Amino acid sequence: MTISTSNTPTTASWPSVTSPFDRPSVTVTSPLHSFLANSRDVLLSERNAEGHWEGELSTSALSTATAVVALHQVDPARHATLIAGGLRWLSENQNPDGGWGDTVKSASNISTTLLCWSALNLSEESRTTSAAHRAGDWVRDYVGSLNPDAIAETVKARYGKDRTFSVPILMLCALCGRLGQNARAAWKQVLPLPFELSVFPRSWFAAMRLPVVSYALPALIAIGHARFHQAPPLGIFRLLRRLAWPRASKLLAEIQPSSGGFLEAAPLTSFVTMALASSGEKNHPVVTRAVEFLTREVRPDGSWPIDTNLATWVTTFSVKALLTQPCQVGDLTPSDRKSIRNWLLEQQYRERHPFTDAAPGGWAWTDQPGGVPDADDTPGALLALRLLSDPESEDACREAAERGIVWLLDLQNGDGGVPTFCRGWGSLPFDRSSPDLTAHTLRAWLAWESEMSPPLQERIARASGDALAYLIRQQRPDGSWVPLWFGNQHLRRDEENPTYGTAMVVKALLERRAALEPHSLAALNRGLDWLRTQQNPDGGWGGGHATPSSIEETALALDSLSGCDTVSLDALQKATDWLRKATEDGTVFPAAPIGFYFAKLWYYERLYPLIWTVSALAAFEVRLKADR
């Protein structure tokens, strides 16, 4: 299957979008129209009172375990009800094999199981339950023993040189007595973190190659200090760290968001809280605000979610799904569009971010104070604003777009790719350039390029060329691309998700295929071939070869492949039929854990299958019309 530029316009362009309230009324009769109408109705009904989407993130055993331990370290009597509720939820949601996964739909893994097993050791009642015994058996079978040295080595080996998650895990195990009864010996298993480096200018961080990723600065400070307090080093480092703590402590308070939740994340906030509480800092202002966050975020069943919400992310995806092209069912009214547009414009950062020191101009995944501007939500917001812009708002949207475009241009790494938060921070996986973010950024640049000034257009053109070259270099020999923030639990090759990654890159390349050089076209064709050949016999897609079909991955593949006129309609129809059956004709949308949260933690978002199904069906409808 090969595409060329012969059937396409001679210049790359952003497809025009007809306002939904200009669409003629059409009677919905065909199965596709009925399926799409049902799905759209469900998506539109998911908006909150403010008119945008908030979604619902999966409950997390890991979040629940860390929150319970944090509250216990601060004041076990005061928080006894929440602690008991969390421990009860953990016991009731243990996997049959005795372990826990990151979600209730996830297979057991050593990290989450260690955290839950440790949390169950907090009280005499919970440590003697069958859940605790079964968890210990699971850990013993995985590690080979319950020896503290063996447990510590297993955790360190899992994460390698990246200490972002290995050090917090071992700290929690030490606090809960799972690394032996000798506290100092247990803390020796927790690798020290050089928190004293946090007092240096933020602009130095990239050059210092810190042992944690850019978003883990609060953990570096708090856990580094806890390790110093519990097992202080000898010599000059003891003096340096003692002198550095007052400034580092002040910085930690300064970068804490007003909500109290670092990144709006229960795990990171909990790790910081328990670290401070265990090092004589229970009355630290950071602890007070963090406890307020944790007590506010607990769910009625006693559990905690992985994060507060992905409101910006799911809203921009919803807008792109509903306004992809003129469709035959009504969706957003002028008032709806204005409400969403104004909300998105308000979410753009206008000041330098205190946490990552990011320049103004980007968007975060959430509307909550703990968000951090990133290179996936920023292009998502830019694409949504392009679709929502109208004569009344075009100046405001263009100005916001210019700030966002410059932010992305300044973020681009020297390799041509785009990282998540910080340029050139380091070589750890979650700070590297990634194909999915780079592809998303390319789409945003293309969408707004014609509206920018000539000098900025030149910058965009140069940056786009570098980004395309990066994508070509990152393409695997089989034609696929691998994303950073999504995975598949069934694909044992490092749990990657080439279906998501390839779909994102193919979509970006198809939008500019008329202007692609031959080598870029060849890369696009290889990606299309890979994506097409991964379709399962049932018509759906999983994360890769021989993985179970999911609504999310099938919709993503269908959406991208519908944009190519050389992909057979039969294959696309099979995918549509599979989606119709899986969603009961667009009425139910069970979610799969394909999302990667920070530190490669699994999550699912209730709206992903719904949003991506709407987007895919709209794209398929456009393809059908084009073939008539």
Task: Looking at 204-284, list the stretches that DSSP marks H as alpha helix, in order from N- to C-terminal side.
Answer: 205-208, 217-230, 236-255, 266-278
Q: Which pLDDT does position 18 carry in this prediction?
A: 37
Contact status, residue 479 vs residue 529, Cβ threshold 8 Å: yes
Q: What is the DSSP string of 390-410?
A: -TTTHHHHHHHHHHHHHHHHH
Task: Please report whether residue 446 resides in a domain.
Answer: yes
Residue 115 has pLDDT above 90, yes or no: yes
- Work out the average pLDDT over 134-159: 96
Task: Identify whether residues 194 and 319 lie together within a single domain.
Answer: no
- 209 vs 82, more confident: 82
**Distance (Å, rounded) from C-alpha 21 to C-alpha 323?**
11
Question: How many residues make up the chain in this entry?
Answer: 628
Task: Identify whether residues 39 and 178 lie together within a single domain.
Answer: no
Cα 11 versus chain centre, distance: 33
Q: What angle do CA 580, 582, 586 make, to 5 degrees?
A: 50
Roughly what angle, to the nearest 10 degrees, separates helices 285-297 and 266-278? 140
| 374: nearest Cα among 307, 465, 305, 295 | 307
Q: Tell me the pLDDT tens digit for each residue of 144-155.
A: 999 999 999 999
At residue 537, what are phi and psi to the nearest 5 degrees? -55, -25
Task: Identify whether residues 295 and 418 lie together within a single domain.
Answer: no
Among 258, 288, 305, give the residue marking a domain's end.
305
- Work out the average pLDDT over 214-227: 88
Task: Identify whether residues 125 and 141 lie together within a single domain.
Answer: yes
Task: Identify whether residues 395 and 428 lie together within a single domain.
Answer: yes
**Distance (Å, rounded) from C-alpha 225 to C-alpha 243?**
11
HEC sequence for 540-576:
CECCCCCCCCEHHHHHHHHHHHCCCCCCCHHHHHHHH
Encode 543-562: b = buried (16+ Cβ within 10 Å), e = exposed. bbeebebbbbbbbbbbbbbb
pLDDT band at 216 (very low <50, low <70, confident <90, very high): confident
Q: Tell me the pLDDT tens digit for each residue of 488-543.
A: 988 876 789 999 999 999 999 999 999 999 999 999 999 999 999 999 999 999 99
Any bridge partners for residue 541, and if so which?
A: 550
Q: Which domain holds residue 499?
A: 28-57+309-626
Cα 93 versus chain centre, distance: 24
Instruction: Write the CB contacts of 74 (distance below 8 Å, at least 6 apart in sequence).
Output: 273, 274, 277, 282, 287, 291
Task: Please report whether residue 150 resides in a domain.
Answer: yes
Residue 466 has pLDDT above 90, yes or no: yes
Contact status, residue 268 vs residue 308, Cβ threshold 8 Å: no
Among 280, 305, 330, give the residue marking a domain's end.
305
Task: Identify whether residues 317 and 265 lie together within a single domain.
Answer: no
pLDDT band at 124 (very low <50, low <70, confident <90, very high): confident
Residue 25 has pLDDT above 90, yes or no: no
Residue 14 has pLDDT above 70, yes or no: no
pLDDT band at 200 (very low <50, low <70, confident <90, very high): confident
Share of the chain above pLDDT 70, in %: 90
At residue 595, what are phi and psi to the nearest 5 degrees? -85, 145
Task: Identify whether residues 179 and 320 lie together within a single domain.
Answer: no
Task: Identify whether residues 207 and 92 lie together within a single domain.
Answer: yes
Q: Which pLDDT does position 59 carry in this prediction?
A: 96
Residue 400 has pLDDT above 80, yes or no: yes
Task: Identify whether residues 271 and 375 lie together within a single domain.
Answer: no
* Domain tally, the chain: 2
Among 305, 339, 374, give the residue marking a domain's end.
305
Task: Identify whether residues 72 and 51 lie together within a single domain.
Answer: no
pLDDT band at 241 (very low <50, low <70, confident <90, very high): confident
Task: Please report whether residue 397 resides in a domain.
Answer: yes
**Distance (Å, rounded) from C-alpha 256 to C-alpha 355?**
8
Q: Which pLDDT does position 17 carry in this prediction?
A: 38
The predicted model scores a pTM of 0.92
**Distance (Å, rounded) from C-alpha 418 to C-alpha 474?**
12
Q: Which of 22-26, 211-215, 319-323, 463-467 has the lowest mean pLDDT?
A: 22-26
Residue keyed to tokens 């969403």: 340
Write out the two tokens for 112: 């989450």
Q: If DSSP codes are grouped into helix, strand and coil, which group holds residue 19?
A: coil
Residue 21 has pLDDT above 60, yes or no: no
Q: Which pLDDT does position 141 carry in this prediction?
A: 98
Q: Tell me the pLDDT tens digit for each residue of 411-452.
A: 999 999 999 988 866 566 667 899 999 999 999 999 999 999
Contact status, residue 622 vs residue 325, Cβ threshold 8 Å: yes
- Work out the average pLDDT over 318-337: 75
**Distance (Å, rounded) from C-alpha 460 to C-alpha 466?**
10
Task: Identify whether residues 313 and 178 lie together within a single domain.
Answer: no
Q: Which pLDDT does position 161 carry in this prediction?
A: 77
pLDDT band at 162 (very low <50, low <70, confident <90, very high): confident
Q: Which pLDDT does position 23 carry in this prediction?
A: 37
pLDDT band at 211 (very low <50, low <70, confident <90, very high): low
Write out the two tokens for 532: 């097409």
Q: Which pLDDT does position 152 carry in this prediction?
A: 96
pLDDT band at 27 (very low <50, low <70, confident <90, very high): very low
Task: Identify whether residues 52 and 141 lie together within a single domain.
Answer: no
Mean pLDDT of the chain: 91
Q: What angle do CA 409, 411, 414 make, to 5 degrees?
A: 90
Q: Give CB contacts under 8 A, 24+ apart, made by 72-76.
A: 72/122, 73/175, 73/273, 73/274, 73/277, 73/278, 73/282, 74/273, 74/274, 74/277, 74/282, 74/287, 74/291, 75/282, 76/122
- 403 vs 164, more confident: 403
Task: Please report whether residue 192 resides in a domain.
Answer: yes
Q: Which pLDDT does position 19 carry in this prediction?
A: 36
Sign, CA dihedral 193-262-99-132, equals positive
CATH number of 408's domain: 1.50.10.20
**DSSP conformation class of 233:** P
Q: Which pLDDT does position 427 carry in this prediction?
A: 61
Residue 20 has pLDDT above 50, yes or no: no
Share of the chain above pLDDT 90, in %: 78
Q: Which of 25-29, 35-39, 543-547 has the lowest mean pLDDT?
A: 25-29
Residue keyed to tokens 């392009």: 386
- Work out the average pLDDT over 53-75: 98
Burial class (CB in 10 A: 0-12, 13-18, 19+), 359: middle
Q: Which pLDDT does position 596 carry in this prediction?
A: 84
Residue 8 has pLDDT above 50, yes or no: no
Q: Which pLDDT does position 9 carry in this prediction?
A: 35
Task: Please report whether residue 450 resides in a domain.
Answer: yes
Biggest CA-to-CA distance, the chain:
80
Q: Tell me the pLDDT tens digit for each residue of 583-601.
A: 999 999 999 999 987 767 8
Task: Please report whether residue 442 resides in a domain.
Answer: yes
- Beta-strand (E) ranges in 347-499? none
Task: Please report whether residue 4 resides in a domain.
Answer: no
Residue keyed to tokens 């951090």: 372
Q: Which of 3-7, 224-228, 366-370, 616-620 has the lowest mean pLDDT?
A: 3-7
Q: Which pLDDT does position 364 carry in this prediction?
A: 98
Task: Please report whether residue 7 resides in a domain.
Answer: no
